[in-house]
């Protein structure tokens, strides 16, 4: 951890660093350095990358460092995506960015499926302990991509028989539902960071997140009734349990009116409102980083029990946590964290899970 870069030479758009270390790195991580004029790539051992910014004088204070998700040797890997940008801005914290800014991050069929794939992979990735979901460009997400929806409709109407058309349509709906639910099934906490518009399918998406923050210019709209359909991928099922006001949920669902940031916070849809997108992302990453320092055993078990207890009785929830904790309380995480608390020592570094 105390190793230092021993060389730094620029060639064109590439920065090459020689790293002093006592043993070969377990994997390489790639980060990008951007200033107003040029873009550089840095490759380094992950444990060293976090210290590099101060070691490059000509780039210090003028550039932004960001590490891209990479594939550790012998470890979990994250696939490449057409519609998502996956980065690692902090240790054990992954950022998943909806990345169709030219289309206002509208949810194409590819994006729907990639969301499910991405959160499933992150759920199995031991390098990941918390996730921030955000949107690139001007808005968070404009909802479903209608052009793509019309193309999918053509494949459905190819079937002449109503039973077969209905079966094909049901399968597609279930695939989209599973993609949204992947955020909930992912054992790692997901923080949705919403700026500007969050429309239709995007609102369905963030209801499956654990924590929701937004910027002051954010607004939310359950738009489905305006296009002649009922929301079918999670909002009608999750919103009543998030907001807690049956009347408000019905009003939003029946009228498709816009909800602005202050009202979203007042009703509990979001728990924090930030001044702008930059402060929003900073705040979300800070909370994710805090979560990532905690025992992954404790955090993931807590999420599992919160999701279970939401849909079961208190008695069922107590039985569920008792069955889990009879094993988890024997974990090294519990022993180490308890000892640190008792002795007022710094929090321990927890093993990957």
Q: Which residues are CB-contacts of 159 (< 8 A; sequence separation ≥ 6)?
A: 165, 168
Q: Give the bridge partners for 258, in sequence order.
A: 221
DSSP string, 161-199: SHHHHHHHHHHHHHHHHHHHHHHHHSSS-EEEEE-SEEE
Q: Report the alpha-carbon distance of residue 139 to residue 98 in Å, rounded.
A: 10
Has residue 181 been placed in a domain? yes
The pLDDT assigned to 8 comes to: 40
Q: Which of 129, 100, 261 is nearest to 187 (CA)?
A: 129
Helix (H, G, I), strand (E, B) or coil at 132: strand
The pLDDT assigned to 22 comes to: 33
Note whether 59 and 75 are same-domain residues.
Answer: no
Q: Report the alpha-carbon distance of residue 157 to residue 176 in Å, rounded.
A: 19
DSSP string, 44-58: E-HHHHTT-GGG-TT
Q: Report the alpha-carbon distance of residue 231 to residue 237 in Å, rounded.
A: 9
The pLDDT assigned to 154 comes to: 74
Has residue 351 been placed in a domain? no
Has residue 327 been placed in a domain? yes
In this structure, what CATH number is given to the domain that contains residue 329? 1.10.12.10
Q: Could you give the number of structural domains in the chain?
A: 3
Helix (H, G, I), strand (E, B) or coil at 86: strand
Structure-token pair, residue 144: 């479903």
> Do 303 and 187 touch, CB atoms closer than 8 A?
yes
Residues of the chain with pLDDT under 70: 1-77
Note whether 251 and 214 are same-domain residues.
Answer: yes
The pLDDT assigned to 69 comes to: 58
- Picking from 67, 101, 117, the residue at the C-terminal end of a domain is 67
In this structure, what CATH number is given to the domain that contains residue 107? 3.90.226.10
Q: Report the alpha-carbon distance of residue 172 to residue 170 in Å, rounded.
A: 5
Note whether 39 and 160 are same-domain residues.
Answer: no
Note whether 45 and 149 are same-domain residues.
Answer: no
Q: Which of 342, 229, 340 is nearest to 295 (CA)?
A: 340
The pLDDT assigned to 75 comes to: 41
The alpha carbon dihedral of 134, 139, 144, 146 has a sign of negative
Q: Report the alpha-carbon distance of residue 332 to residue 115 in Å, rounded.
A: 33
Has residue 349 been placed in a domain? no
> Do 348 and 337 touch, CB atoms closer than 8 A?
yes
The pLDDT assigned to 255 comes to: 98
The pLDDT assigned to 156 comes to: 75
Q: Tell me the pLDDT tens digit for each residue of 95-106.
A: 999 999 999 999
- Picking from 274, 292, 310, the residue at the C-terminal end of a domain is 292
Note whether 115 and 224 are same-domain residues.
Answer: yes
Note whether 74 and 63 are same-domain residues.
Answer: no
Structure-token pair, residue 178: 């599973």
> Do 243 and 206 touch, CB atoms closer than 8 A?
no
Q: Give the range of the structural domain holding residue 59, as residue numbers without chain letter.
A: 1-67
The pLDDT assigned to 68 comes to: 52
Q: Give the up-direction half-sphere exposure of residue 118: CA atoms within 13 A in the CB hemisphere.
A: 26
The pLDDT assigned to 37 comes to: 40
Note whether 117 and 250 are same-domain residues.
Answer: yes
Note whether 269 and 301 are same-domain residues.
Answer: no
> Do 214 and 193 touch, CB atoms closer than 8 A?
yes
């Amino acid at each position: 951890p105390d190793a230092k870069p021993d060389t730094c030479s620029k060639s064109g758009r590439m920065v090459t660093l020689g790293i002093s270390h006592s043993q070969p790195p377990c994997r390489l991580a790639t980060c990008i350095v951007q200033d107003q004029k040029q873009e550089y790539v840095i490759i380094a051992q992950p444990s060293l990358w976090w210290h590099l910014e101060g070691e490059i004088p000509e780039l210090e204070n003028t550039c932004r460092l960001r590490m891209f998700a990479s594939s550790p040797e012998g470890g979990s890997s994250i696939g490449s995506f057409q519609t998502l940008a996956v980065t690692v801005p902090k240790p054990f914290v992954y950022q998943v960015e909806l990345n169709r800014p030219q289309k206002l991050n509208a949810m194409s069929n590819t994006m729907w499926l990639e969301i499910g794939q991405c959160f499933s992979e992150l759920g199995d990735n031991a390098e990941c302990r918390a996730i921030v979901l955000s949107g690139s460009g001007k808005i968070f997400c404009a909802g479903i991509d209608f052009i793509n929806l019309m193309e999918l409709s053509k494949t459905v109407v190819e079937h002449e028989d109503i039973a077969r058309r209905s079966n094909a349509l049901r399968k597609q709906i279930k695939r989209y539902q599973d993609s949204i639910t992947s955020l909930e099934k992912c054992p790692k906490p997901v923080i949705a960071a919403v700026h500007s518009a969050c429309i239709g399918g995007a609102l369905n998406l963030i209801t499956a997140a654990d924590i929701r923050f937004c910027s002051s210019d954010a607004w939310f709209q359950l738009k489905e009734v305006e296009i002649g359909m009922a929301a079918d991928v999670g909002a009608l099922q999750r919103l009543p349990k998030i907001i807690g006001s049956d009347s408000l949920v019905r009003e939003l669902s029946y009228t498709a009116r816009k909800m602005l940031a202050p009202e979203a916070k007042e009703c509990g849809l979001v728990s924090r409102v930030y001044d702008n997108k930059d402060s929003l992302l900073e705040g979300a990453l800070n909370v994710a980083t805090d979560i990532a320092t905690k025992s992954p055993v404790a955090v993931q078990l807590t999420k599992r029990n919160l999701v279970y207890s939401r849909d079961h009785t208190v008695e069922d929830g107590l039985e569920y946590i008792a069955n889990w904790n009879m094993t988890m309380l024997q974990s090294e995480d519990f022993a180490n964290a308890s000892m640190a608390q008792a002795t007022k020592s710094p929090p321990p570094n927890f093993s990957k899970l």
